[in-house]
A and B are shown apart, each in its own frame.
Chain A
């Protein structure tokens, strides 16, 4: 393995809902749960705020993976933001995969404020998946 390759670690952009997953991440932090340091967090008011453009732009800019995490169905602070988003993400994910983007690069989860452990697990899994895929190439603009 060339040294450059050895040093590669995935960069993952995470959009976390303020009312649940962001707090979940916080809980994981204060509970000193271990999870890989590869994510950068964007706090959003609701998973429904995540415009598909954000996700596509992240892929174009060379992020190796994206995670969107919001409140469980029924728990959305705005009642249905996550339910509207769920359909949007389903279509976006299906379409991106159809065009040939590796499915592991797009990740979605429901993590509540109390689920610090779930958050740590989700991040671990996402990082593992993306690591296995290697650096993003398709759709990246040079």
Chain B
């Protein structure tokens, strides 16, 4: 356990561009950026692009560490054999500013997937390990946010190095980790926070948490799913799902990928996102697919999130960000599924 001094700093909202500019000298800085009507995490080069008055970003920030298309290496085949050239992964260390608590928790889950166990994903880890996360607590959660049901909170600090908390015209900066503290030390111009302000965010945090209305009773769902692989409800619930990639691509924790070789001027081995909802997911070379229809694919999604992952890593694989709920083209609502399992409706209907 590293002991460090927990410090509270304060920064005026109008000083955020200055902060970003300063960080930019040393780091690759990513912040939410508003484009037309949508907010995405993007690499920013000046301070003015950052847009912090958002509720949640359209895409999750996972693509900073796990891009949709990533060149793993390039190679050439010549008389001597095969020459491999590894693609550069990291230019400079990264600062992610404006990460919501659910997405920060998502990173912790992705860490488990990409790094615990036998295989370590160096492409993910190299970026992840050299990143400082400056979070942003949620003052205005969306009606579809159910982070509190998934073990998170709108002012949650899990996965953050620093946490910005919005009080009117300024942000209080709470130091969460040693890495965060290091960054703070590089910014001597930040003022110390006053006790009154700290009290203010504490009560704000309580109020916002209480205001979250979307609740899902996820307790025990993982266990219940153990006996439900053959439940008849799977035949019914997938029916309206069209098998697109919206829910999984926008999700902060989904991390299925596919690897393929491409030839342009050089041979490249690339990794691209995949989704269990696609009909060609787990399609084998022989033409056989163990998940031949929407039923098996939807079951995979729900099982992976609420049964397989908890079994392997001890936690649900959903952080309650609500993106899949908001964006599904046919309004498939994962909360309803979890609720139905949890309240035993599925079991009863199966009997």
Contact = CB atoms under 8 A, between A and B. Distances in A.
User: Taking the complex as a whole, does A directly touch B, i.e. does some CB pair lie under 8 Å apart?
Assistant: yes
Interface of A: 141-142
Interface in B175-221: none
A141 B264 CA distance: 7
A135 to B, nearest CB: 14
B246 to A, nearest CB: 24
A57 to B, nearest CB: 12
B14 interface: no
B265 interface: yes
Interface string B254-288: 00000000001100000000000000000000000
Interface of B: 264-265
Nearest to B265: A142
Contacts of B264: 141-142
Nearest to A61: B264
Contacts of A142: 264-265
B106 to A, nearest CB: 32
Contacts, number: 3
Contacts of B265: 142
3 contacts: A141-B264, A142-B264, A142-B265
B315 to A, nearest CB: 40
Contacts of A141: 264
A141 B265 CA distance: 9
Nearest to B266: A142
A113 to B, nearest CB: 36
A141 B268 CA distance: 12
A141 B270 CA distance: 14
B297 to A, nearest CB: 28
Nearest to B264: A141
A142 B265 CA distance: 7
Nearest to A60: B264
A141 B266 CA distance: 11
A10 to B, nearest CB: 18
A23 B264 CA distance: 33
A142 B266 CA distance: 9
Nearest to A140: B264
A41 B24 CA distance: 52
B83 to A, nearest CB: 20
A42 B145 CA distance: 57
B76 to A, nearest CB: 16
B268 to A, nearest CB: 10
A128 B265 CA distance: 26
A142 B264 CA distance: 6
B261 to A, nearest CB: 14
B94 to A, nearest CB: 25
B160 to A, nearest CB: 38
A104 to B, nearest CB: 24
**3 tightest Cβ-Cβ pairs between the two chains A and B:** A141-B264, A142-B264, A142-B265
A119 B264 CA distance: 31
B266 to A, nearest CB: 10
A142 B71 CA distance: 13
A47 B159 CA distance: 60
A142 B69 CA distance: 14
A141 B338 CA distance: 43
